[in-house]
Amino acid sequence: MNTTDISALAAGLRCRSAKWVGRFRRTVEPEYAPFVIVCTARTGSEFLKSLLNDHKNAIAWGALFAPASRTRIRWGFAAQPQGSDLRRLIADNPVGFLEREIWTRYPAAIRAVGFKLFYGHARGGEWKSVWSYLQRRADIRVIHLRRRNLLARQVSLELAQASRVWRRKDRGATSISSVNLDFDACVREFRRVEEGAANIDAMFASERVLDVVYENLAEDQAAEMKRVFDFLGVENRGVRASTRRQSSGSLKDRIENFDELERRFRGSRWHE
């Protein structure tokens, strides 16, 4: 087990123990800032989550309402409970799950608690109530995580799909390092992401939202995390991520038909 695995495991145990200890507190009202990280895949959400979980006063849970959570709850950490009662609760009463299991009582040291939610998550069945619940609760702070370069995001997405490696905690390279991208598929995906982001902009009042751009976070982590910590009302301090970038190099190196795409995107809003 390497150091990043150890830090990730420690974060998971800290979150679980904080919930357990918190149940014995006498305070009725939570004394922390509830938040949600809203984004789409391959925008650095695991990176941001791991940075938040390296802060002693914050807890960031995983993508709780990913489709896979209907059979196994995506807490975002190993060694978390998966009992049938919990699975029934999240399946049938997602708001009740959030209030009982996520935004519950914690030790006084915990000052911010949240989870990840992708644009397309919780859009059907009982889970649709999650979005209206988030809208109604004006105290919930929204970290809207975006990626400026949608082509780079598309490369990351297709590499992850091809390699089946969605996050990396070591320095090793993935077995697949380049992809051939379909122009029309890229355009459809770019529009889908932009529509999802626009829906979030329309859904929440601007004073409840902090926009975080992945490229800014990667370039100047300290400055961006100060913005995040200030937004959540926790002390600004140095933090380290337990995840690593899965690919490196230029887009030209990672896109097999880069010249074709560069030509076809020239003059569009997606050309950089």
Task: Give residue-wise pLDDT tens across range 170-207.
Answer: 555 556 789 999 999 999 999 999 999 999 999 999 99
**116 φ/ψ angles, rounded to the nearest 5 degrees:** -95, 145
* pLDDT for 4 beyond 60: no
Instruction: Quote the CA–CA distance of 48 and 115 in Å, as a whole number.
Output: 11
At 242, the pLDDT band (50, 70, 90 cuts) reads confident
* pLDDT for 13 beyond 80: no
> Which residue has 């919780």 as its token pair?
122
Provide the whole-model pTM.
0.88
**35 φ/ψ angles, rounded to the nearest 5 degrees:** -145, 165
Least confident of 9-23, 92-106, 196-210: 9-23
Q: Of residues 90 and 248, which shows the higher confidence score?
A: 90
- Average per-residue pLDDT for the chain: 88
What does the radius of gyration of the chain's CA atoms come to, in whole angstroms? 19
- As given in the structure block, the two tokens for residue 117 are 């939610």
Q: Of residues 108 and 170, which shows the higher confidence score?
A: 108
Find the helix packing angle between 150-163 and 183-203, rounded to 10°: 110
Q: Which of 69-78, 196-205, 242-251 has the highest mean pLDDT?
A: 196-205
Task: Give residue-wise pLDDT tens across range 14-67.
Answer: 666 665 554 544 454 558 999 999 999 999 999 999 999 999 999 999 999 999
Give the model's pLDDT for residue 162.
82
